[in-house]
Amino acid sequence: MPTHEQKFFDGFMLLLGVLIGALAGIVLFADWFGSAQVGVSDGALIDDRIRPIGQVVLFGDPDIGVESIVAAAAEPDRAPLSGSQVYDESCYLCHAAPGIGGAPVLGDMDAWTPRIAQGTALLHDHVLDGYQGDTGFMPPKGGRLDLTDEEVFKAIDFFLEAVE
Ligand code: HEC
């Protein structure tokens, strides 16, 4: 009749054996798996794998490809936004009081009167293309290149209605 200690010892040794076996299995598998990867030492392949997934471009950079981004976003797969929705999502950031970076504040008659005098067509162009005026810089479509031109025009109407 094995003693209590002996039973424990036997069980413990069995468990230890299983664990060591499993460990050896993992080591062997990892070794095989590592060597099975083709071209690990191939420099070009590594470069390809660690290549950054994005690239920083700045406005004014000739390679920015704004046209292609705009073209790709021209037909958004969603319901068109209203002028006030576009304002809340995309224009508010700069055009709410006090006006960031020299942006004319929504409803500020003094700031808008001379701009409206330029004519709506020019305002449209300035917002679509981006605008560097006397007070600051606005990126094209306020930075929201996924907006359609119509959505931007509705947002401009929203600005104009606020000072009517
Ligand atoms: C990053 C900040 C910023 C955002 C976002 C922004 N604007 Fe502007 N916006 C400006 C600044 C700055 C000016 C003034 C530029 C100047 O006159 O020097 C301006 C000017 C304008 C003007 C007057 C242009 C002119 O010819 O006088 C209109 C219209 C306008 N913004 C509409 C919009 C609309 C619509 C949106 C949202 C789709 C928007 N802006 C988002 C910064 C911004």
Give the closest residue (by CA) to ligand 1 atom 43. 138
Whose CA is closest to 74, among 129, 146, 6? 146
pLDDT value for 159: 97
Range of the domain at 91: 82-162
In a domain, 65, yes or no: no
Residue 112, SS3? helix
113 lines ligand 1 (CB under 6 A): no
In a domain, 40, yes or no: no
- Per-residue pLDDT tens digits of the chain, which is 164 residues long: 678 899 999 999 999 999 999 999 999 998 888 776 655 566 777 777 787 777 776 666 666 666 666 666 556 678 999 999 999 999 999 999 999 999 999 999 999 999 999 999 999 999 999 999 999 999 999 999 999 999 999 999 999 999 98
Whether residue 61 contacts residue 132, with contact meaning beta carbons closer than 8 Å, is answered with no
In a domain, 105, yes or no: yes
Q: Number of folded domains in the chain?
A: 1
Mutation probe of ligand 1 site: the residue of 131, 135, 160 with most atoms within 8 A of C-beta: 131
In a domain, 127, yes or no: yes
User: Whole-model pTM above 0.75?
Assistant: no
142 lines ligand 1 (CB under 6 A): yes
In a domain, 5, yes or no: no
CATH number of the domain that 119 lies in?
1.10.760.10
Q: Give bridge partners of residue 148 from the DSSP assignment.
A: none
